[in-house]
Structure 1
Amino acid sequence: MAAKIKKGDKVVVLTGKDKGKTGEVVQMMPSENRAVVRGVNLVRRHQKQTAQTEGGILSKEAPIHVSNIAIADPKDGKATRVGFKIVGEGEKARKVRVAKRSGEQVDG
């Protein structure tokens, strides 16, 4: 099955404390149905000082469930569902992701 959300996609958060925020998918975890989105779901970690790293309180992104994010429409940036379309003929045919909202192609 083709993935509807991939690393590098611009997404919109639909629910939770970061509702309405947009960001880029940094990492996908398909086995856990989660994604790490830049600037979203920030948590604070208390880091003990080691020889390599400095101690203190660090902020980092925690994974968010994929049901709580949606791809941002390439046309207007609003949340949209994703469909698939076959582009090309015969040997050159390939499956591309398409925004249901505007019909525009999501990936190159």
Structure 2
Amino acid sequence: MKKNKIQIKKGDTIQIISGKYKGKQGKINFILKNKNKVIIENMNMKTKHIKPKQTDDKGCIKQIEGPIHYSNIKLVVKA
């Protein structure tokens, strides 16, 4: 599989150019280089259900950011 070189870094401000969040801007939190995806602050929120690890613990529901493919974003401001 050919890897594309991503021209963005953590902390850059980007704009989403396609998909559900089209037109919105945000900062990059994390880059998944092997999957060519990025995780953007407060964007593409997913619900994660966490089971209790021990009998006396409680489970919980967390909101986490999901990855977005780098072809669906464009750079606005470099960090």
Query: Which fold has the larger relative contact order, with Cα–Cα distance below 8 Å and residues 6 or more apart in sequence?
Result: 2
For the criterion TM > 0.5, the same-fold answer is yes
SS of structure 1 residue aligned to 2:71:
helix
Between the aligned partners of 1:13 and 1:63, the Cα distance in structure 2 is: 12
TM-score by length of structure 1 reads 0.59
Gaps of 5+ in 1: 75-105
Task: Determine whether 1:70 maps to 2:49.
Answer: no
Gaps of 5+ in 2: none
Shift of 1:20: 1.4
Task: Determine whether 1:44 maps to 2:40.
Answer: no
Between the aligned partners of 1:13 and 1:21, the Cα distance in structure 2 is: 6
Cross-structure match for 2:14: 11
Cross-structure match for 1:30: 33
Shift of 1:18: 1.2
Between the aligned partners of 2:22 and 2:58, the Cα distance in structure 1 is: 32
Matched pairs, number: 74
Question: How big is the alpha-carbon RMSD for the aligned residues of Structure 1 and Structure 2?
Answer: 2.1
Change (3 A) 1:68 1:3: closer
Shift of 1:19: 1.2
TM-score by length of structure 2 reads 0.78
SS of structure 1 residue aligned to 2:34:
coil
Larger Rg: 1
2:60 to 56, 67, 79: 56
Counting aligned pairs with the same residue, the percent is 32
